[in-house]
Amino acid sequence: MANILIQSAQSRDLHGLERLFNKHLYETQFSYNKRSTEALIRYEKPSLFVWDMHSLNRKVIPFLKNLRNTGFQAPILILANEIDSNIVKELKHIDRAHHVKLPTVPNKLIKLTHKLVTNPNIKHQAFTRFDTNQTLDVENILTGENFDSLMKNLSMGGAYCEFDGPVQLNKGDLTRLNLSLDNVKNTHKMNAQVVWKEHDSIQQKYCVGFRFLNTQDLYKHLMTQT
């Protein structure tokens, strides 16, 4: 069974993460500061180090480098409410260091945890994500159905959206994301493919991840589905 070391200054966040990981059969250890984290790692190296924090900033980098210099090579997962994009660039130079912007969907966190534990060498996420909270009309290209959603975050590679109720969208579906830009009285259209879908039972939301497609790739996928 994989062992996860969790560092968090907030006991509420720490025990919430403990319950989530234990529910999925991961053993957990706790730390409230860097010193106890170093001591626990010296005693027994975990399969994954999860660091829960409010802000991912420059102070984090030296500690992570020190862990690597002392021989700790397991994946590191940082959970942060605020993320400095400049620090993300530095983080990419630290082997097996990953980050997730909070809040996030519990099931998504568990899926990433499983990936890191079973395949420690997976690559960093390709694109930095930005919070948006924009209303979005999602059109299923093949069926013509439209669904109202809230686009929670956006990157150069895709988008993450939440729906209030069940939606007839499945992995692999081709869609058109219609974003209304009120300040310029225009609608920006983006071709995208559904890459994952799940129900967040805590927030009672239906969550969907999209990958953007250029026109050429869209036509290729349409040809295989029609």
Adjacent-strand bridge partners of 163? 206
Are 163 and 151 in contact by the 8 Å Cβ rule? The answer is no
Are 25 and 47 in contact by the 8 Å Cβ rule? The answer is no
Give every CB contact of residue 102 below 8 A, 6+ residues apart in sequence.
79, 80, 81
What is the rounded distance in angstroms from the CA atom of residue 215 to the CA atom of residue 11? 48
- Residue 111 tokens read as 């899926």
What is the rounded distance in angstroms from the CA atom of residue 100 to the CA atom of residue 156? 16
- Same domain, yes or no: 66 and 96: yes
Q: Is residue 107 one of the residues assigned to a domain?
A: yes
- On the question of pLDDT at 14 being above 90, the answer is no
- Same domain, yes or no: 68 and 108: yes
- Residue 76 tokens read as 């590191």
What is the rounded distance in angstroms from the CA atom of residue 105 to the CA atom of residue 107? 6
Q: Would you state the pLDDT for residue 139?
A: 94
- Same domain, yes or no: 88 and 176: no
The CATH number of whichever domain residue 168 belongs to comes to 2.40.10.220
Exposed (0-12), middle (13-18) or buried (19+): which is 25, by Cβ within 10 Å? exposed
Q: Is residue 125 one of the residues assigned to a domain?
A: no
Tens-digit pLDDT profile for residues 28-50: 999 999 999 999 999 999 999 99
- Same domain, yes or no: 161 and 55: no
Are 43 and 66 in contact by the 8 Å Cβ rule? The answer is no
- Same domain, yes or no: 74 and 153: no
The CA–CA distances, whole Å, from 202 to 105, 206, 210 equal 9, 11, 22
- Same domain, yes or no: 218 and 112: no
Give every CB contact of residue 24 below 8 A, 6+ residues apart in sequence.
110, 113, 114
Tens-digit pLDDT profile for residues 112-166: 898 888 888 876 665 566 778 889 999 999 999 999 999 988 887 888 899 998 8
Q: Is residue 168 one of the residues assigned to a domain?
A: yes
Q: Would you state the pLDDT for residue 147?
A: 95
Q: Would you state the pLDDT for residue 156?
A: 79
Are 46 and 4 in contact by the 8 Å Cβ rule? The answer is yes
- Same domain, yes or no: 10 and 113: yes
Within 13 Å of residue 13, how many CA atoms lie on the same side as its CB?
17
Residue by residue, DSSP assigns 53-64 as EEEE-TTHHHHH
- Same domain, yes or no: 103 and 173: no
pTM of the complete model: 0.61
Number of domains in the chain: 2
Question: Which residues constitute the domain of residue 159?
Answer: 130-225
